[in-house]
Structures are given as C-alpha cells and as structure tokens.
Amino acid sequence: MLMSASAWYETWSFWQFAITTLAALMIGALGAFATLRAANPKRRLDFGTGPSVPLLIASQTGAGTLELTHNGSPVASPRIVELRLRNSGRRDITQSQFHGNDSLRFDFGAQVVGVLGMKSSPAGTIAPSVNLFATRPTVVEIPPSLLARKQVFEVTLLLDGPDAKVRCTAAPLVDVKIRRGPVRSISDLMSVLALLFSGVSVLLAAVFSALA
C-alpha cells in the first residue's frame, strides 16, 4: 500500500520552526529598537499661544474715553496673550543644552508691556524666568533653564498693539527640535472634562426620562 507523504509546509515541525524563528526575529528587532531609542532620546519643545484677549474696545459713540495704564504708563491698545511651552520629548531639556548660554526668544509683533503671571505644571517643576527687551520691545526671552520632561510652562503677558502671530526668533537648543503646535494647559483639560461630564449627565438624564 502506498502512503502519500504530506507536503513539507503541512508538517507541524515546519510551522513550529517558522513560528519560533519569527518570534526570535521580532524580539531581536524590538530589543534593537529599544536600545536605539534609549541611546538617541528625542527632545522636543512645543510652543504656542492661548487666545489673544483685547481689554478695550474702541467707542462707537465717542461719549467717553477709557484709559488703561501699567506702572503709570498708558497702554493704547492693551491685550492679554498667554505664551505656552511644553517639553513633549522623552528627556529633560537642561541648561547645558542652550548653546553658548543663549536664550530662547519670541517675537509677538506688538510691544510687550509687562509680565502679568507665570505658572508651571506638574507640581514641583520650576518656572523659568522671562526677560523683556528694552531695545526690542516686541520680544521676550527665556534664559537657559531646566525644562523637565512633560513640563508645561505658561506666562501671561500684557501687550500694546494689534494681534499678531508669535514667532520663535531664536532657538539655540542642542539636539532639541522646537515646533509650533497646540499646547494644552491644565485649565484647558479641566474645561474639556467638565464639558464631557455635562454632556454625559444630559444624556443620562434624557435616557432616564424616556424610560420613566
């Protein structure tokens, strides 16, 4: 009696060998990727601004004039803008990575009158300092400082002038990619969560009302 031999690709030993080999290759590739990722940690710094809020609206009737001053000096077209920075990379950005001990610089296209407030999150991170230029009134600079991993830094500024797109005019950071992008603040996230909670509450109320 003749017995037909199974094709080589139908045998269990072949598939066992193939699966073992494939698993070994995948583990090796993942290990190499992890090693490369650890040896070349990406560092990124995102920047953006919150809404630009004008403080005065020109009178249409001319019935009266409202004036705003800051430290005794009048501000003709005051507006509030929030500059936000976020270390979105996998490592801290250290002071030594500021090449030549130079500073980050941002141009707002309008005179920066003063700094109204600063905050940093998460808790325990230190907010860097912010300096104004006497000779370049539209520019602020952030001197070399530690920006911890996942740190979000927000500085609120009083401007005098029209709304304009903020530009990063100097980014002397070594091995750090700086990019413009949406930088969500803690207050933004809380607002989103509050909206979601409100929406779910309304939906549940409607469902219970329909079932009653």
All domains of the chain in start order, with CATH: 44-191 (2.60.40)
Tell me the per-residue pLDDT of 4-24, one tens digit each, with 9 for 90 and over: 555 555 565 655 666 677 766
The yes-or-no verdict on residue 61 having pLDDT over 80 is no
CA 28/CA 6 separation, integer angstroms: 32
Please give the backbone phi and psi of residue 135, each rounded to the nearest 5 degrees, phi first: -90, -20
Find all residues with CB under 8 Å of 94, minimum gap 6, and list them: 146
C-alpha closest to that of 157 among 101, 193, 203, 111? 111
Mean pLDDT of the chain: 77
pLDDT for 94 equals: 94
Tell me the per-residue pLDDT of 19-55, one tens digit each, with 9 for 90 and over: 677 766 666 655 554 454 444 558 899 999 988 888 8
Can you spell out the DSSP letters for 90-149? Answer: SSPBPGGGBGGG--EEEE-SSEEEEEEEEEEESTT--PPP-EE-SSSTTEEEE-S--B-T
Strongest mean pLDDT among 70-79, 88-97, 181-190? 88-97
pLDDT for 134 equals: 78
pTM summary value: 0.65
pLDDT for 74 equals: 87
Lowest mean pLDDT among 71-75, 87-91, 105-109, 196-200: 196-200
| Percentage of the residues of the chain whose pLDDT score is greater than 90 | 44
What average pLDDT score do residues 171-175 get? Answer: 92
